A and B are shown apart, each in its own frame.
Chain A
Amino acid sequence: MKIHEYQARDLLAQFGVPVPAGTVVDTPEKAAVAFVELGAPVAVVKAQVHAGGRGKGGGVKLVRSAEEAGEVAKTILSKPLVTPQTGPEGVPVHKLLVAAGVDIAKEYYLGMAVDRANNCPVLIASSEGGVEIEQVAKDNPDAIVREPISPTVGLQGYQARKVAFRLGFKGKQISQAAKIMTQLCKLFIDTDASLAEINPLVVTPPDAENPDGRVLAIDAKINFDDNALYRHADIQALADPAEEDASEIKAREHGLSYIKLDGSIGCLVNGAGLAMATMDLVKLHGAEPANFLDVGGSATEEAVTEAFRIILGDAKVKGVLVNIFGGIMKCDIIARAIVNAAKQIGFKVPLVVRLEGTNVEAAREILKEAQGGLTTMQVGTDLTDAAKKITAAVAA
């Protein structure tokens, strides 16, 4: 699960990580008021969307007056934000963060992630902040420090100090940076995060009170482990349905795992691996999959009928490929759902059905009897045959 930047900042602050003052607003008028209340000479207006690359899309702007804050807010809120991660249609912007501008002496990157190779959390830090860590990993891998963390005892003091010194923090910055690392790690483990990034983490120029400057988190991104949400009602409450595809939400309500894609062949499959492999198969035969859909092992006839409704509700879908290898999922349930979908929704587009496994004979009987209502249906004898038939039918 993803959350917005302003929510991530709030969480960091709750865990004692210093962040610059900021306010969340949803109108240009409120943005202007927020600027005045912040009392800083410069503020940053930032579009609150889950997609990254906001700066490149014009979703992050510096402002120097209340009027300017209002104007910039109006512009950003008025149209969908297109970033390198959103696709050409962009995403609507409903909320803005107005944050106090901060003078920056140096930028760093600090993140917590799951180290799959070592089966533990890992602290990732870099003295090259403000750019994507993937880019640093490519261009200057030596600038990245990786510190594996024990999942039982968490980040130890010596580890935080080691990373802080290696990153080149000086004097009083060391204890500030080490504390931020410790708290970021605590946040990561306590909230069951799957990713927690501060980018950039900055050092401000020295002033009278802070001869070594202050260490602050400027931007934050936190994702959570979906499997652990059951024990974090507070995190669940941070979800923003407006950021999700409506059909994906509907699918989840029916226990279906569905991801919308851009192609024309709708896929209905049981099992995540087979569902991915079916998408690959469609592509291999020259077409593009319209979706990933795993109905799961214990879906009911109703849920599978709903799956057809979701697939056929996608205007781009020009054909549907059903690929089932029955294990716990029984093929006759799928066959009945196909008959239901034909009655309730109707298959105006070509449908190719490939069934194998548990109760396949019963399923074939059901489909044979219902043939009259399934005029666009063909049976795929195996995977390749099914793929050829659906791509040919859609091309015709």
Chain B
Amino acid sequence: MSILVDGNTKVICQGITGSAGAFHTKGCLEYGTNMVGGVTPNKGGQKDANGLPIFDTCDAAVRATAANATMIFVPPPFAADAVLEAADAGITLIVCITEGIPVIDMMRVKQDLALRNAKRKDNPIRLVGPNCPGVITPGTPGPKGQGCKIGIMPGYIHMPAPEAPAKKAIGIISRSGTLTYEAVWQCSQRGIGQTTCVGIGGDPVRGMNFIDCVELFNADPQTDGILLIGEIGGTDEEEAADYIRDNVKKPVAAFIAGRTAPPGRRMGHAGAIISGGEGTAESKIDALRKAGCQVADSPADLGAAMAKGLGV
């Protein structure tokens, strides 16, 4: 089992004819993702370099391919529109890779998705990102590998859960891209597999948050533990800590980046800023420790902290 995506997920790429969209569509195909097409307005009817059909609209793409997930590489001024177009077309997993979307645009997207989801009880529309590496359920690379990679992460560093030598698999939730790769790598090196890794993104207003993912991993029988990678800014880690304390029995390990970050400076990510005394690493680390999580002091100990929690 896994969360959000698996070998049956049918994926389209919005912005498939752009350089990033084309490059990563190929990467996902090579990993074994069931890519079924792409969307670029006014290029409908053409095929991409991999022979995938291109559609003018998400609506047309979903009608023709029955896609249920999308990977968005549309430039920032048009990305919020792309997310809502996907939602309107009936896609239930929207993964937005784009970095640089204005925060008010994302607030409006969140409000619209909340209104749509208020009418849908069982099958909510889920947004991952923006400004994120994407979602991966590791599988053996290749067309029958049962894995699904939607995003820009290097596939080969991951360890598919069924193949894990340590017989343990974890879920990873992270606000950072390369720091997630670091975490995945350290876990894979220790023989710890990953059921699914979700990059929730570095923006202040985003789709799925730590709690949403923790809830899914907690309910997934194959996921033995959860690794949470946060950073300065906001209070999402503190809220996740409260949720974990009250609801999660599985071992949880964590790391918070930015202990040495100066207040008031935006550290690369739009959301990584300590402002008004809020969003410090200390506050997050303290809350997670109090909730019983293994918090690594060093980014070199992400795998070790998780292994300790799992008892392997």
Residues of A at the B interface (CB closer than 8 Å) are: 85, 114, 116-117, 119-121, 133-134, 137-138, 150-152, 189, 192, 194-195, 225-228, 230-231, 257, 259, 261, 269-284, 288-289, 292, 294, 297, 325-328, 356-358, 382-384, 387
Find chain A residues with CB under 8 A from B205 CB.
Answer: 114, 116, 119
- Distance (whole angstroms) from the CB of B279 to the closest CB of chain A: 8
Known: A226-B270, A259-B265, A271-B177. A276 touches B231 (CB 8 A): yes
Q: Are B202 and A272 in contact (CB under 8 A)?
A: yes
Task: Determine the chain A residues whose CB is within 8 A of the CB of B299 once the complex forms.
Answer: 274, 277-278, 280-281, 383
A283 to B258 CA separation, bound complex (whole angstroms): 11
Q: Please state if A117 and B179 are interface contacts (CB–CB under 8 Å).
A: no
Cα A325 to Cα B108 in complex, Å, equals 34
**Neighbour of A194 across the interface among B103, B182, B231, CB < 8 A:** B103
Contact (Cβ within 8 A) A119 B110: yes
Asked if B259 is at the interface (CB within 8 A of a chain A CB), the reply is yes
Chain B min CB distance to A391 (Å): 13
**A227 adjacent to B270 (CB under 8 Å):** yes
Q: Which residue of A lies closest to B179 (CB)?
A: A273
Cβ-defined contact, B258 with A276, below 8 A: yes
Smallest CB-CB separation from A271: which chain B residue?
B178
**Quick check: A273 and B107 within 8 Å, CB to CB?**
no
Q: Considering the complex, which residues of chain B in the window 66-106 have a beta carbon less than 8 Å from any beta carbon of chain A?
A: 76-77, 100-106
- B111 on the interface (CB 8 Å rule)? yes
Q: How far is the CA of A288 from the CA of B265 in the complex (A)?
A: 17
Given contacts A150-B111, A274-B179, A280-B260, A327 and B133 within 8 Å (CB-CB): yes
- Whether the pair B276, A273 counts as a contact (CB closer than 8 A) is no
Closest Cβ of chain A to B100, distance in Å, is 5
Categorize the interface residue count of chain B.
Answer: 35 or more
The interface residues of chain B lying within 8 Å CB-to-CB of A325 are 178, 181-182, 185
A273 and B133 alpha carbons, distance in the complex (Å): 12
The complex places the Cα of A383 from the Cα of B231 at a distance, in Å, of 18
Q: Once the chains are docked, how many angstroms separate the CA of A289 from the CA of B77?
A: 35
Point out the residues of chain A lying under 8 angstroms from B202, CB to CB.
272-273
**Whole-angstrom distance between the Cβ of B197 and the nearest chain A Cβ:** 12
Whether A292 lies near B268 (C-beta < 8 A) is yes
Write out the residue numbers on chain B whose beta carbons fall within 8 Å of the beta carbon of A114: 103, 204-205
Report which of B77, B154, B179 forms a contact with A230, defined as CB distance below 8 A: B77
Q: Which 3 A-B pairs have the closest CB atoms?
A: A273-B176, A272-B268, A271-B178
Closest to B301 in A: A384
The distance in angstroms between the C-alpha atoms of A273 and B202, with both chains bound, is: 9
Query: How far apart sit A383 and B300, CA to CA, in the bound complex (Å)?
Result: 5
Per-residue contact bits, chain B 222-266, to A (CB 8 Å; 1 contact, 0 not): 000000010111111001000000000000000101111110111
- Residues of A close to B10: CB separation below 8 A: none
Instruction: Give 12 A-B pairs besides A227-B270, A272-B176, A283-B260 with Cβ atoms closer than 8 angstroms.
Output: A138-B277, A226-B266, A227-B101, A228-B103, A230-B77, A231-B102, A271-B268, A273-B202, A274-B299, A281-B300, A325-B181, A357-B154
A382 / chain B contacts, CB cutoff of 8 Å: 300
Residues from chain A with Cβ under 8 Å of B157 in the complex = 357
Contact B267 A116 (CB under 8 A): no
Q: Would you give the shortest CB distance from B52 to chain A, in whole angstroms?
A: 21
Residues of B within 8 A of A288 (CB): 260
A192, A226, A284: the one within 8 Å of B104 (CB): A192
Our pick among A192, A292, A357, A358 for the contact of B267 (Cβ within 8 Å) is A292
A382–B300 Cα distance when bound, in Å, is 8
Shortest distance between the CB of B110 and any CB in chain A (Å): 4
Cβ-defined contact, B174 with A273, below 8 A: yes
- Residue contact A277 to B257, C-beta cutoff 8 Å: yes
Which residue of chain B has the shortest Cβ distance to A283 in the bound complex? Answer: B260
Whether, in the assembled complex, B298 has its beta carbon less than 8 Å from a beta carbon of chain A, the answer is yes
* Structural contact, A117 and B239, CB atoms closer than 8 A: yes
Query: Contact: B178 with A273, CB < 8 Å?
Result: yes
Question: Given contacts A261-B262, A279-B261, are A272 and B272 in contact (CB under 8 A)?
Answer: yes
> Closest residue of chain B to A383, judged by CB?
B300
Kindly provide the distance from the CB of A396 to the nearest chain B CB, expressed in whole angstroms. Answer: 22
From known contacts A119-B110, A152-B108, A225-B104, infer whether A271 and B179 are also in contact, taking CB-CB under 8 Å.
yes
Q: Which residues of A contact B286 (CB under 8 A)?
A: none
Bound together, the chains give a CA A194 to CA B103 distance in angstroms of 8
Show 8 A/B contacts (Cβ-Cβ < 8 Å), sorted by A: A227-B100, A228-B104, A273-B179, A275-B267, A277-B182, A279-B258, A327-B133, A356-B185
Q: CB distance B178 to A274 under 8 Å? A: yes
Q: CB of B26 within 8 A of chain A? A: no
Picked from B177, B260, B266, B268, the residue with its CB within 8 Å of the CB of A327 is B177
How distant is the Cα of A329 from the Cα of B212 in the complex, in angstroms? 30
